[in-house]
Amino acid sequence: MDRYRQSWRMRIPQDPGETRRIERWLATARVFLAVSTLVAIRMDPTELGHSWAAYGLFVFYMANGILIMMLLRRRQQSTSAFRVLVHAGDIAWPALISIFAEGPRTPFFLFFFFALAAAAYRWGLWETLGTAAAEVALLWFENLVIVHVWLGPGGSQRLRALTGLNVNIRDFDPQRLFMLSIYLLVMGLLLGYLAEQQKHLRAEKAVVTGTLSRVRVEAGLTGTIEQIFNEIMSMYGPSRVMIVSQETRSRRVFAGEISKPNGSAPAEFHWLESGIRDAKTYLDNFPGEVCYASVERDEWKTLALDETGHQVPMTNLASLSQLRQAHSFDSLVTVPFLFGGDWRGRLFLFNPSWRGERQEELRFLQDLVRQVGPAVYNVYLLHRLRRRASAAERARFARELHDGAVQSLIAVEMQVDVLRRQAEANRPIDGELGRIQSLLREEVLKLRELMQQMKAIDVDSQRLLGVLKDAVERFQRETGISARFVTDLDELDMRQRVCREILRIVQEGLVNVRKHSGARHALVRLASVGDGWSLTMEDDGKGFSFSGRYNAQQMKEAGKGPMIILERVGLIGGELTVESNPGQGTRLEIIVPKNGDLPHAF
């Protein structure tokens, strides 16, 4: 059982709130037990032997239980000294009452079990065994005092005169006390073991939760690995932690490490630039899921576990010898990991400091990697998706600038050169200046729209109506196209992601009206229709190249319609319908469910 006291997980402090709840439950149980005993005495007064001292002692116990309950209700914290004092009373009281209750074999013997349960509930194995030992010692002390001192020559008459009680000497027979002592010790062992197991599981859960809290997207993959490795170093105390991983498709190998710092500052993780030449030495030649190896006088001692935590033989020591040549160490722990189908690898802990039983520590490390690994993989996936999205956005931004502003500025430069020549020849240039001015105005609008698309949007249901109204009014001021925003809604209960996409759709629709429609009027309407939100956009321009009413599937098959708007509608699980009348205008109708499940998007 020493492994429980030696385990580093037992160093985790208990929550003060949980400690207070435990004490309150014990106080409630103590009072309930006292009341139940009072009922039993009422039914059979002989249980206390008609002794006034016994009744007084029992009343004192009830008052003590009520007082403890009141103190716990008034105090915000329960100190260690207070808990030890209360527990000492729980141990001493049943020993005292057993004297007046015709020996230790009365129903009041249950108070001994309450003390054992309280020790297990508060602490763990050794405290519960200590409580059982204290109870046994008190019983044997009673046996010594009552049998050999009070019940010596004339002792029975003196005891009867003091207490009004006849003590049954058979209840203090050494053989019976021996069996009761063994019974208490065995019960203390079992209750303490169960309590220690529960404490062990709570501590492991706290460690896993604390490690998972280190996984943060904003820290990035390297920062997340650094935080987790610092946690592992604080738990197992290795001199160095190393990770070797291989991408499944490209077979590229990446390695990084973190070493124990000299001071109190956390260690820094860094990737190794030299790389790993022989990946098999680090990844393939290890049996089981997790293994431990140490070397003493060139003799290897190993321990390997399979996926279920059972020991397996470890026969291949060549990889360990090669590792020891590359990384000098006396002991080593290694555990594999797998990130989806993209990455596989291993963690290496060099020269760990064991505080518990090795197989138990290896099993926990195995479980820790299994639970933390998927969270780290999610950070990697999100980081990769963000990089791809950023690259795509930069490419789109560069394309927009090249196809728009850059081309227009080149055209303006050429027209200015023409104007310069016309001015030298004293030709009129008013018309050319007007065209240049129109071209510059158009490019200013395009750049503003591009900057608006690049700007991060922070809009929710409380602000959406106002933001949409401002966007439509700004469109009218900048383009000269008559535009209105109409809604009969006073307030919204719309999810923030839907709000953002609705605003983007309106912005994209207005850009299309300005660029392609040639319209003089535009209308944007937002309404609530049954179980969905209805967004419509209309203009009196030239319309699309097709005529009629098309849904999303038809537009995808034909490759026609506003594809960017169609994509954004799909991001919020909506339906898009486009009605086009060439030469008369276009109408877009979007229906978004209010409580539907949104597709996953990053």
183 and 159 assigned to the same domain: yes
Whole-number Cα distances in Å, 32 to 21, 22, 117, 593? 17, 15, 15, 55
106 and 204 assigned to the same domain: yes
6 and 88 assigned to the same domain: yes
122 and 224 assigned to the same domain: no
Mean pLDDT value of segment 447-455? 61
170 and 249 assigned to the same domain: no
Q: What is the pLDDT of residue 508?
A: 84
Please provide the size of the chain in residues.
Answer: 602
Whole-number Cα distances in Å, 212 to 2, 209, 264? 29, 5, 23
CB distance 306 to 288 below 8 Å: yes
Strand partners, 538: 523, 587
Residue 575 CB: number of other CB atoms within 10 A? 15
pLDDT reading at 2 higher than 50: no
Of the three residues 365, 385, 405, the one that is the final residue of a domain is: 385
236 and 168 assigned to the same domain: no
Tokens read off for 315: 């026969």
Of the three residues 210, 229, 252, the one that is the final residue of a domain is: 210
Mean pLDDT value of segment 175-194? 85
Instruction: Compute and round to an integer the Cα radius of gyration of the chain.
Output: 40
248 and 170 assigned to the same domain: no
- Paired sense of beta strands 299-305 and 548-551, if any: unpaired
Say how far apart CA 176 and CA 143 lie, in whole Å.
Answer: 11
Whole-number Cα distances in Å, 488 to 35, 473, 574? 66, 18, 21
Residue 305 CB: number of other CB atoms within 10 A? 23
198 and 332 assigned to the same domain: no
Residue 407: which pLDDT band, with cuts at 50, 70 and 90? Answer: low
User: Helices 110-122 and 16-43: crossing angle, nearest 10°?
Assistant: 170
pLDDT reading at 485 higher than 90: yes
pLDDT in tens, 35-68: 777 777 777 666 555 556 666 777 777 787 788 8
53 and 188 assigned to the same domain: yes
Apex CA 104: angle with CA 100 and CA 107, to 5°? Answer: 90
Residue 195 CB: number of other CB atoms within 10 A? 21
**Is residue 426 assigned to a domain?**
no
Say how far apart CA 467 and CA 452 lie, in whole Å.
Answer: 13
Long-range contacts of 275-283 (CB under 8 A, 24+ apart): 276/244, 278/322, 279/244, 279/246, 279/251, 279/253, 280/319, 281/319, 281/322, 281/323, 281/326, 282/244, 282/253, 282/255, 282/323, 282/346, 282/348, 283/244, 283/246, 283/336, 283/344, 283/345, 283/346
131 and 205 assigned to the same domain: yes
Q: What is the pLDDT of residue 46?
A: 61
Judged by average pLDDT, the poorest of 310-319, 352-361, 424-433 is 424-433
H or E element: which one contains 188?
helix 174-212
Q: What is the pLDDT of residue 406?
A: 62
164 and 17 assigned to the same domain: yes
Mean pLDDT value of segment 334-360? 84
Tokens read off for 276: 């790993």
**Is residue 215 assigned to a domain?**
no
Of the three residues 189, 210, 231, the one that is the final residue of a domain is: 210
Q: What is the CATH number of the domain that holds 305?
A: 3.30.450.40
User: For residue 468, what are the domain limits?
Assistant: 457-602
Is 120 exposed, middle or buried, given 0-12, 13-18 or 19+ CB atoms closer than 10 A?
buried
pLDDT in tens, 530-556: 888 999 999 998 888 788 888 888 888
pLDDT reading at 311 higher than 80: yes
The per-residue pLDDT of the chain, averaged, comes to 78
**Is residue 38 assigned to a domain?**
yes
pLDDT reading at 602 higher than 60: no
Better-predicted residue by pLDDT, 2 or 39: 39
Say how far apart CA 509 and CA 485 lie, in whole Å.
Answer: 13
**Is residue 393 assigned to a domain?**
no
**Is residue 450 assigned to a domain?**
no
**Is residue 428 assigned to a domain?**
no
Mean pLDDT value of segment 218-236? 84
**Is residue 546 assigned to a domain?**
yes
Residue 181: which pLDDT band, with cuts at 50, 70 and 90? Answer: confident
Number of folded domains that form the chain: 3
Q: What is the CATH number of the domain that holds 523?
A: 3.30.565.10
Residue 358: which pLDDT band, with cuts at 50, 70 and 90? Answer: confident
Judged by average pLDDT, the poorest of 6-20, 469-483, 501-515 is 6-20
pLDDT in tens, 90-135: 888 777 777 666 544 556 677 888 888 888 888 888 888 888 898 8
Amino acid (1-letter code) at residue 96: L
Tally of helices (H runs) and strands (E runs) in the chain: 18, 14
% of the chain beyond a pLDDT of 70: 75
**Is residue 577 assigned to a domain?**
yes
231 and 205 assigned to the same domain: no
